[in-house]
Amino acid sequence: MCNKNLAEISNRTERKTEVGSRHKYLYLVTLFLISGMQLSAQDLIQNGDFEYPITDKLSMEVQGANAIPGWISETPLLMVNHLRLFPYSNYQSILLQHAPEQEPYIRQEFVSKEAGTVAISFALAASRMENGRLRVLVDGNPVGRWYYSDFWTQDNTILTDHMDWRVINVPQFYLEAGKHTLEFKMDACEIVSDNQGDKRDMIEGFLLDDVKLTLEPEKQYTGIPLLDSLAGQWVETKTLTGYPALSNFLGSVKSSKCLGAFRTDFLYGEGLVHPAGTFKVRDSVVFSQQSKWFPYQIINRSNHQGVEYTSTMRLIVGKSAVLMDVSLKNKGEVEIDFPLTMDLVEGVLGTTNQINPVITKGTNNYAYAFANNEPVAIRTVQKRTEVAWEIKLKPGEQKHISYVVYMDDDSQRAKSKAKQIANSFDTSFKQVKTDWENQWHDVFTPGNKSYSGHLPIFETTDKNLYEIYYLSIASMLQCQFNNVYPTLDTVFATNNEWARSVGYFWEMGQFADIYALLEPKGMKQEILMWFNLNVDHGNALNYRNGQIAGHWYAVNNYQIFKAIDSYIRINQDFNFLKEKHNGKTVMEHLYGHATAWEKRFNSEYGLADYGDNPWSFFETNPDYIHLVPAMNAQNVWMLRQMAAYNEHYGDGKRAVDLRDKAAKLAEAVKSLYVPGEGVWKVKYPNGHTIVSRHSYDFFTIGKTMTEDLSLSMKQEMVTFVEDELLSTSNFMRAMSLKDHAALNSDRSDHGPVGCYIGWPPMTIQAIAKFGEFRKARNLMSNFRDAFVESGMGQAIEFLTPIGSSERINRIGDRAGASFLIVGANFANAIIDGLMGYMPEIDGEFKPYMSDSQRFFKASLKNVRYGNKSYEFKTSSTGVNIVNP
C-alpha cells in the first residue's frame, strides 16, 4: 500500500513541477512498489492509494487488466482526480464504475510470509447511487459486505461533486502463510435516474481509497485468563441502554446512571425499584460519565465541579451485602469545600444513628455501616432518607467514602453484620476478588470442590476466540446460584435478574452441553424434576417449589429432549435410560417428547400445527405461528435420535417406524423452502403461506436436518445470513429487515434491531455443521467486538449515538436481563461447532468432520467424556484427539 511519507515526497515534487514531471512521479511510484515490503514488513499490498496513472481530468478510464500498478481488473474502472472531487487520500481514488450486466472488481495478489491475524481497512464513498453492495473477498471467500443503505441516503450522494467518505474496518480474521488475493467487487448497483442535461464526467458507483492490509503475527494464548482480562471496556454511561449488573451466587445488584448508586432488585427479598446511593452536591446529582464492568466489580467514574469521583461496587460472595468504595479527588489547583449528600435505600428510617442507619421496607432491613469518613448528618427529606458530609479537599487530595449495606429480615442481625464487615472493610473488599478467582479456576479444574464436572481449557492463536470463549463462561457464572433453593445445591437460573428463580426449558436445552460437562450431578437432579411436570402447561421449572411456571412454549419438548440427550451422551450415562421416574422409564419419557408433535399433526400438509399464539414462539413476531418449519425440523431430529436410542439401548422395534416418520416429516419441511433465497415459508391451516426471514429457521433447520439439505440449499442459507442478518457493528440481527413483520418486531432479542444472545453462536454451529469452518471461525472471531460493556445479556441491540454515523452494540434493557445462561453458547459453539466435540449415541467418539481444516490453531484440554478427559487439537488437516 502507499507509504504516507513517500506519497508526501512525491506530492511535493509534483507541485514544484506543476504536474509536469510525470517521469519523476513514475520513478517514485516504481521505487515504492519495489521497496514497499521492506519499508514495513506488515504491509501486504501495494499501491493502496491508487496514485498511478495520473490525470488532470476529473476522471480517466483505466484500460487493461494491469493498468493500475499492483492491481488487476478486466471490468470498467475510473481513476478519479482531486481537481473537483476530493479523494480520501492524496490525489486520486478508484471508482468501481456502474456497468450493466457486469460486476466491477479490482483484485491484488499478495504474499504473507507467516500466519497471523489480518486487518483490512479502506475508505468508501458513493456517487449517484440509489442502492448497491460492495463485497470484500480474500482468496475468493467473502470477509465483508457493505450496502449503500448502511451509510447513505440518496440525498447524500446524488451529486457528482459531493462525496461523503466512510472509513471501513473489515472484521479481522486468521490468514495462513502463502500467496493470497484481495478483491473488491460491486454488485446490485442501482444508479440515480434524473433529467440532468450535462452527463459528461458523471461519477456513478463506489469509490475506494486508502486501502490497507496488515498482518499481526501469530501469538499463542494459553492457560486460564485472569478475570481482569475479561473486563469490559470503559464505555460512556450515557450510551448504555441497560446498566451493568453483578452476581454473587446468591442474587444480583444492578448499577445506575447515578455514580455509586445501585438497585438490589434480586439480591434480597423484593429488592429495590429505585437506585440507592445517589450522590449530590448542592442538590446537583453526580452522574456517571464512564462505566467499566468486571466479573467481580463495577467501576463508575465522573468529573463533577472539579472533583474526580470513582465508585467501585462489589458483592460479598454468598451474602446479601453490598460493598461500595467512592473516592473523591480534587483535580484543581485550589482548595475546595462543598456539601455532599447520598440517598439511602428507600423505606422507613429505623434509627437516627448516622454511623449505622437501618432502613426498613416491608420485611426487608437494610443496615448501613461506614468504614471511614462517617457522615455528619442524617435526615429525611420528602420520604427520602439521606446522609451528609462537609467535604474539604486540598489540590490533588483524595478521600474515600467506604460503606457496607447488609440486608436481612432481622434488623439487629443486619446491623451487627454490617458493622462487622465495615470494621474489616479492606479485607472483605479484597476477599471478593479472591473468592471469584477461586471459583473461576474450579470451573476448569478436574476434581474441583465446586462442581461435579469441569469445562475444557481452550488455547489458540486467535485472541478473539480465546476471549469470547472465557467471557461467555464468566457471564454464565453470573447466573449461578448456590444453596438458595431447596431442590438443588447448584443451579444455573435462566438469568441473574427477573428470572433467577426459574429455569426455562428454552434456555436449558441450549445450555445443555455446558451444563452436562460442568455440573452433571445437578443437571441430572433437575432432569428428574422435569419428569414430574406437565410441560403443556408452562415453559419453566420454578426452583422454589418444583412446579411448572410460565406459559406454554412450542419448543418445550425439543429442548427437554435435547437436554436429556446431552446429559446422557456426554456423561455416558446410558443406564439412566432404564431408570423409572414418575411411572415411566427415561427411555419412555424421551419417546413421549419425540412424538408429542403428533397430537398437533395436520394430515393435509404433513406438518405439526403449533397454534396461533405468538407468545408460544418469539412473542414479538405476530406471523411466526401455526405450521412453522423450524419447529417441525426439531421433530425430525428427535425422531432420528429416538430411533438410535431404541436401536442401541432398547428392543429396536420402533427404530424403523421412527426413521420413516422422520423422512416423511423432513420432506414436508423441505416443501417450505424458498429456492434461491435461503429462507423458509410458514404455512397456515387455510393453506396460505408467508416467507419468514428469521435466524431461528436457519440455525434450527441447519442443525437438525443437515443431512436432508442439498449443497445449494446450504449455500443459499449461508448467503441469507451474510446478506441479511449480519450487521455493520460485527454482530447479527435475529430477523432480516426484509421480513414483512420487521416493522412489527422492534424488541431487540427476536426482531431486526438486535439479537437474542443464543442465536449468533447457534448460527455458527449450523454453519460449522455445513462444513464451512472458515466462515464459522471468522464469524465467531468477529462477534467478539459486540461485547464492549460487559458479558452476554439477553440481547445485543444496535444503536447510533447522537453525533455519530456508526452503530454500536449495547445490551438491550427492554428485552431482558444483564446476563443469560445461554451466553455460554459461545463457548459451546467453539467446543462442538469449531472443535467438533459431539459424542454419539452409540458411544463413538471422534471429532465431527475430523478431516476438515478448521483454519485456526487451537486445542481443547481436559475435554471430559464420561469419566475420562481428552485433548482436541487442530492441525492443517482437521482435528485430532490426543488420548489421556
Residue type, 385: T
* Average pLDDT for runs of 10 along the chain of length 884: 35 34 36 36 82 75 81 88 72 86 91 89 91 93 88 79 82 88 91 73 87 90 96 95 92 93 77 86 96 98 96 97 97 95 91 77 91 92 89 97 95 94 97 98 97 98 95 96 88 84 94 98 96 97 94 97 98 97 97 98 97 88 93 98 98 97 98 98 97 97 98 97 91 93 84 93 98 94 92 89 79 82 97 97 93 95 95 94 79
Contact 373, 292 (CB under 8 A): no
Other Cβ atoms less than 10 A from the Cβ of 64: the count is 10
Residue type, 86: F
| Lookup: cell for 395 | 489540590
Residue type, 773: F
Instruction: List C-alpha distances in Å: 792 to 172, 264, 789, 805.
Output: 21, 20, 9, 25
Handedness of CA 618, 624, 630, 633 (dihedral sign): positive
Separation of alpha carbons 614 and 624, rounded Å: 7
The DSSP secondary-structure symbol of 220 reads -
Instruction: List C-alpha distances in Å: 325 to 310, 312, 388, 429.
Output: 8, 5, 16, 9
Nearest Cα residue to 116 out of 24, 209, 178, 35: 178
Measured at the alpha carbon of residue 511, what is the angle toward residues 510 and 514, in degrees to the nearest 5? 135
Separation of alpha carbons 794 and 812, rounded Å: 7
Residue type, 54: I
Contact 507, 494 (CB under 8 A): yes
Residue 64, pLDDT score = 73
Other Cβ atoms less than 10 A from the Cβ of 247: the count is 27
Instruction: List C-alpha distances in Å: 729 to 145, 261, 718.
Output: 12, 30, 19
Contact 371, 360 (CB under 8 A): no
Separation of alpha carbons 184 and 835, rounded Å: 31
Q: Furthest-apart CA pair in the chain: how many Å?
A: 96
Other Cβ atoms less than 10 A from the Cβ of 355: the count is 14
Instruction: Tell me the per-residue pLDDT of 486-542, one tens digit each, with 9 for 90 and over.
Output: 888 999 998 888 777 899 999 999 999 999 999 999 999 999 999 999 999 999 999
Domains in the chain, CATH or no CATH each = 4-217 (2.60.120.260), 245-435 (2.70.98.10), 444-551+561-594+820-884 (no CATH)
Q: Is the whole-model pTM more than 0.75?
A: yes
State phi, psi for 837 to the nearest 5 degrees: -80, 100
3-class SS string, 430-475: HHHHHHHHHHHHHHCCCCCCCCCCCCCEEEECCHHHHHHHHHHHHH
| Residue bearing cell 419447529 | 631
Host H or E run for residue 557: helix 556-571
Reduced to 3 states, what is the DSSP secondary structure of residue 18?
coil
Separation of alpha carbons 306 and 646, rounded Å: 73
